[in-house]
Homo-oligomer: A and B are copies of this chain.
Amino acid sequence: MCEGAPAVKRIFDPIHHFIELSTAEARLLDLPVMQRLRRLRQLGLAYLAFPSAEHSRFTHSLGALAMGTRAFDELNRSGRDVFGSPENAAYQRRLVRAALLLHDIGHGPFSHSCESVLEIRHEARTADLIALPDLARGIADLDVDSRDVLDLILGDRQSRYPALRELVSGPNLDADRMDYLLRDAYFTGVSTGRYDAEQLVASLRILERDGKPVIGIDRRGVVALESFIMARYMMFASVYFHHTTRMFEHVLHAVLRDLWHDPRALDPAEEFLRWDDFRVLGALDGKQSEAADALRNRVRIYALAAEFNAERDLHAFEACDAALRARFGDENVWADTQAQLLHRLPFGLGGETTVWVDGPAGAVDAREVSDLIAKLSGKAYWRKLFVRRANSNPRDARRLCAETLAARPLASSD
């Protein structure tokens, strides 16, 4: 009645079901640097708007590995020798799995907020961490070169494996995004974030563009790509830019700046690794600070006064912003333009970063093939105005915005 020892480790996941790891990968996963990811939430403070968004970067890292493996295996069987000899292909498979498993280790607590306070990008951290003895040994045990791993994670243009680099850190068809959209949709319960992952993965192809290999899709995958782009939009609109999330991220920024007076405080890797979301929340306990209390106990310091989703609303946004500041004072108004987040927008398919579609006469820009993708290209806007509850009346603020808008010519004729 004894349990046999399995040759590989299988981990159960609601998105990918069984995720299989080799013995060496399982050992890597059990290192403290990986286990720490259980204490970083994938969506930071979004759980204050969507209570069930409590999932961690740990499960996402496993999911990215699973998704990247599905993509790799599909590419590998879609054409003859796309990854070279069987040995070369096996190496690249181990490599892309390693890179996806490790791609988030450089994140600090509440990642993006942390980065701007500590003035160091998570990708840069990764280089330091990968050099730590434990991790270096773990990577060596995977039988991959840690330099190759780092190149994929950092998206190094000089990487010897440009197609894998796109799978790990590309701007569109990366396994990172393919996993987190499904995962964030599942854990928030926002079903509109789902896309046709089966068809998208089945359509992946390595195409040629200016003599270099790029990851694209075949013609049958266009509808799946449309669904992927729409899902990105829906998750930004519903979750990532939800006004409650944005408001608490604003508060967090002040809290972190207060917590780490010295932006170099976490430079030593050992110190950095000791910090996670939960330790930050613990450190706020007992602080005599409005912001600390707000974060720990979900005190909504600000109220939403108005929001604007159309590009043409810029003047309306500015007019309301000015009116609110005139009434309540600059210190009681927060205008969230999300300018700093524009690089994460789903529709930035311009220039370098479009998706290529296989065609009879070579690779074609997805915007040529799909009206829908063409229309959804370019920036999207989620501008919001908040007022501080302590020193203003949210109802007054909303009425002021309505009056300001009513006094203007119609937005559409701007």
Contact = CB atoms under 8 A, between A and B. Distances in A.
Interface string A49-83: 01110111011001000000000000000000000
Contact of A192 (B2, B10, B194, B399): B194
Contact of A186 (B14, B38, B359, B365): B14
Nearest to A78: B7
A316 B223 contact: no
A389 interface: no
Contacts of A361: 402, 405-406
Interface in A351-372: 358-361, 364-365, 368-372
Contact of A32 (B3, B5, B32, B296): B296
A51 B219 CA distance: 22
Interface string A219-232: 11011101100100
B3 A51 contact: no
Interface stretch (A91-99, A119-127, A273-281): A273-281
Point out which of A52, A198, A358, A376 has the most chain B C-beta atoms below 10 A from its C-beta. A52
**7 smallest beta-carbon distances between A and B, as pairs:** A14-B189, A360-B402, A278-B278, A2-B398, A192-B227, A375-B375, A310-B371
Contacts of A17: 189, 198
Nearest to A14: B189
A381 interface: yes
Given A196-B191, A369-B309, A226 B220 contact: no
A380 B375 CA distance: 11
A336 interface: no
A172 interface: no
A344 to B, nearest CB: 17
Given A282-B278, A401-B360, A1 B227 contact: no
A343 interface: no
Contact of A237 (B223, B274, B285): B223
A298 interface: yes
Interface stretch (A100-108, A249-257, A258-266, A299-307): A299-307
Contacts of A365: 412
A405 B360 contact: yes
A372 B282 CA distance: 41
A394 interface: yes
Interface string A285-322: 10000000000111100001111111101001000000
Interface in A181-198: 186-192, 194-196, 198
